[in-house]
Structure 1
């Protein structure tokens, strides 16, 4: 690929468009999508030749990526482009080969690019519809070979490789599996409530099941467990004392007085008999 030919055609087309700023085109074989740059893609027709087996093939899906940026302060516009490669599908260890695009198709790509710049950066209406690439020859090898396209592998071109659903899910972790399969083999935290509680102690089981397990223990263990968990309540056998009323107090004083009088009488009789 002649980078100078692309740059010359771009300079000529930008000059004819009479834009107010200076624009330059740069070819970058390792160009990646970047933030702050406007993206523009085209597809063209061309051919490839394998450097190992010398096999050649034609393709109408040669993807060209453009990144555009305009510095309004410096009045400098920049376009960076990349033409994606393809590899031979017959070789066991193929290499990415550069595309051979005709001069006519290069001109058409550049005209479409200049038209896009005027629309996006200068608000001009589209001068004409995008020119389609010139297709020559009829020996096309079926549809686009996505498995051997550099742009498809990088998921940049329109024909991205789509893995069938069954193969895409194969080998993934449980997060991509159905709910029933993902939960299989997990710990009890991800199981249903009834299965997750299986094997736990009586604190996490229902009350009925927990009491059932307690009855299987020996009397000594049940008595010891009762001392640990149940508070010891001592009940008094005596009757609860009621508040004393004034009538009760008067009766007690009278009885005490009588007993005192009898005691004094008995003492006086004893002294006289002596």
Structure 2
């Protein structure tokens, strides 16, 4: 995965929005949950290639998790892209997805939208709206048995999540203000697929 492409596109979005605070984006190779950070997920279209058999496949449900905080006028985003395995190889390991540049930009536009909305009180209707590009054909439903996000119990596409729940706490305006000032967030899972729901992609 092109780490520099993600970082450059993120900084470009920050500059375009004239955000005064310094923000950084770091990509975590292994999944780590930061409980006190704001959690935001998007589902993008991407392609995969098995390094064992050479099989290629596409998925419109590639789970990207952004964990966000703003502390002392410095913003930080930790990003993890959940990988997938080849369903034909018994010894397969998780492969990194390949994104087209347009979908990288769209994912980061959504991320900066959420930053503007949550940290700078910019109304959602005043933010740019973009949808992921579906570059190819996806075969069959989401393969939860070979999805890293499903294995960790954090993938919203997994219909067998057991007791894992995702919610937005019901709090008063005063309580939200206190959390913003102290940069403290309980388990908030915001999700976006860039379309009408989190399981479809606009063609």
* TM-score computed with the length of structure 2 as normaliser: 0.76
**Does 2:107 align with 1:112?**
no
**Does 2:84 align with 1:101?**
no
Give, in angstroms, the shift of residue 116 of structure 1. Answer: 0.5
Structure 1 residues 192-251: Cα deviation after superposition (integer angstroms, max 9, x where no partner):
xxxxxxxxxxxxxxxxxxxxxxxxxxxxxxxxxxxxxxxxxxxxxxxxxxxxxxxxxxxx
Question: When you count helix as a share of all residues, which structure comes out higher?
Answer: 1
Structure 1 residues 159-212: Cα deviation after superposition (integer angstroms, max 9, x where no partner):
236289xxxxxxxxxxxxxxxxxxxxxxxxxxxxxxxxxxxxxxxxxxxxxxxx
Higher relative contact order (CA 8 A, sep 6+): 2
Asked whether the 8 Å contact 2:84–2:146 carries over to 1, the reply is: yes
5+ residue gaps in structure 1? 165-274
Distance of 1:67 and 1:33 partners within structure 2:
8
Which residue number in structure 2 is paired with residue 153 of structure 1? 151
Query: After TM superposition, what 4+ stretches of structure 1 lie above 4 angstroms from structure 2?
Result: none
* TM-score computed with the length of structure 1 as normaliser: 0.57
Q: SS where residue 8 of structure 2 aligns?
A: helix
5+ residue gaps in structure 2? 163-203
Larger Rg: 1
Question: When you count strand as a share of all residues, which structure comes out higher?
Answer: 2
Distance of 1:161 and 1:93 partners within structure 2:
25
Distance of 1:35 and 1:163 partners within structure 2:
19
Which residue number in structure 2 is paired with residue 131 of structure 1? 130
Asked whether the 8 Å contact 1:147–1:161 carries over to 2, the reply is: no
